[in-house]
Amino acid sequence: MYLCRILQTLPWALILAGQAWAGEPPRVAVSLPPLHSLVAAVMVGIGKPDLLIEGSASPHRVSLRPSAARKLAKADRVFWVGPELEVVVERGLANLGPDAKAVALLHVPGMIRLKPYKTHNSRKGAAAYDPHFWLDPENAIRITKAVAEILIAVDPVNAARYQRNQETAVQRLRALDETIGAALRPVAGQPFLVLHDSYSYLARRYGLGPMEAVIVNPEQSPGARRFIVLKKRIYEKKIRCLFRESQLSSPIVERLLEDTNLRIGVLDPLGGDLEPGPGLYGKMMRRNVAHLIRCLKAGKES
C-alpha cells in the first residue's frame, strides 16, 4: 500500500520523466483487457503491450499467473486501474525494476471519477472512487491521451507515431461515443438491475437508469434482507431488466426471477472473451449497448 500511495501522489511531471529508450520501445504491461486495448491502440506499429489479467476473470478475485508476474517484473511502464480494483497487481509492483514506473490511470489528473454506489458508503474499507471508469468513453479518450504523453516522454524516437496513433484513436472513440449516445437515447430513464456495481459511468454518460446493483460487495453474497429490498424495488419501480455478468454469479438472481416479469440480459465490463488488442474496447462497448437496448426496449414495451 505504501508503494501505491507514492505512485498515486507523484507529480505528473515525475511520472512522465525517467529513462528514455534510444533503441527498443519500452516494455509495457497493462492490467485489464479494456485498458490494454486503449494502450495497444497508442502503440500500433511500435510494440505490443503485455496483458496481465487475461480472459473473463474478475479482477476482484483473480491471482496473477506466474507468466503475468514475470511480465510485470520486466515492464518499464505499467498501466493499471489502481488499488480500488486490482490488489493483486499492487502486490506485484514491489518487484518492478529500479527505472520502471507504474501509473494508476484512475488517478491521472483530469480523469472523471465517481463515488461508489451509495450502498457501499457504510461498508468498511470502501473505495473512494468507483474503479470502472473506462466505461465512460470520455475517460477512454483521457486514458488514450495520458498514455501517449507518457510513452512519448520515455520513447521520443517514436514520438510522431505515438501522436498519430493517439489522434486516430481519439477520433474513433469520439465517433463511438456519438453512436452509443444516439443508440441509447430511446431507452434512457428505464430502471434496471445489474448484478454488480460496474456501470455507473456508463449510466451517467448516457442518462440510463435509475440503476441498482444486486451485489453490493463482490466478496459477499447478498443476504435475506437485501433480497427483500430488491424484490420490493422490482415491484415499486416496475423494473423489467436484470443484467448478469460473465465474471460474477449469484444464486440470488434465480430467486429474483420468481414471480416477476424480469428479463435477463448480459453485460460485460471487461470484454474478456474478445481478442485482446486495439479493437477490443469498441467491440465490448458496442456489444454492451446492443444488450442494453434489447432488454430495456422489450421491458419498455411490455
Residues 6 or more apart from 264 whose CB is under 8 A from it? 241, 242, 243, 244, 253, 257, 295
Distance CA 141, CA 129 (A): 19
Give the burial string for 198-234 (b: 16+ CB within 10 Å, else e): bbbbbbbbbebbebbbbbbbbeeebeeebeeebeeeb
Asked whether 242 and 193 are in contact (CB, 8 A), the reply is yes
Q: What is the pLDDT of residue 17?
A: 56
Domain ranges for the chain, please list them. Answer: 2-179, 186-301
Q: What is the pLDDT of residue 272?
A: 85
Q: Tell me what the mean pLDDT of segment 8-18 comes to.
A: 57
300 has a pLDDT exceeding 70: no
Q: Tell me what the mean pLDDT of segment 238-246 comes to.
A: 89
Q: Where are the alpha helices (DSSP H) in 85-199?
A: 87-92, 137-154, 159-184
Integer-rounded Cα radius of gyration of the chain: 20
Q: Which helix (H) or strand (E) holds 264?
A: strand 263-267
Per-residue cell: 212: 441498482
Instruction: Assign domain 2-179 to a CATH class.
Output: alpha beta
DSSP for residue 277? S
Q: What is the pLDDT of residue 274?
A: 95
Q: Which of 176-185, 196-205, 234-243 has the highest mean pLDDT?
A: 176-185
pLDDT tens digits along 282-298? 999 999 999 999 999 88
Distance CA 93, CA 34 (A): 20
* CA neighbor of 81 nearest in space, from 123, 36, 138: 36
Pick the CATH number of 186-301 from 2.40.110.10, 3.40.50.1980, 2.40.50.140, 2.30.30.90: 3.40.50.1980
Partners of 241 in the β-ladder = 263
pLDDT top residue among 249 and 167: 167
Q: What is the pLDDT of residue 116?
A: 82
pLDDT tens digits along 54-78? 876 666 666 788 898 999 999 999 9
Range in 4-13, 180-189, 272-281 with the lowest mean pLDDT: 4-13
Kindly indicate the confidence band of residue 5, based on its pLDDT and cuts at 50, 70 and 90: very low
Same topology, domains 2-179 and 186-301? Answer is yes
Per-residue cell: 293: 437496448
34 has a pLDDT exceeding 60: yes
Q: What is the pLDDT of residue 157?
A: 95
pLDDT top residue among 215 and 93: 93
pLDDT tens digits along 129-177? 999 999 999 999 999 999 999 999 999 999 999 999 999 999 999 999 9
pLDDT tens digits along 76-125? 999 999 998 888 898 889 889 889 999 999 999 999 999 886 543 344 44
6 has a pLDDT exceeding 50: no
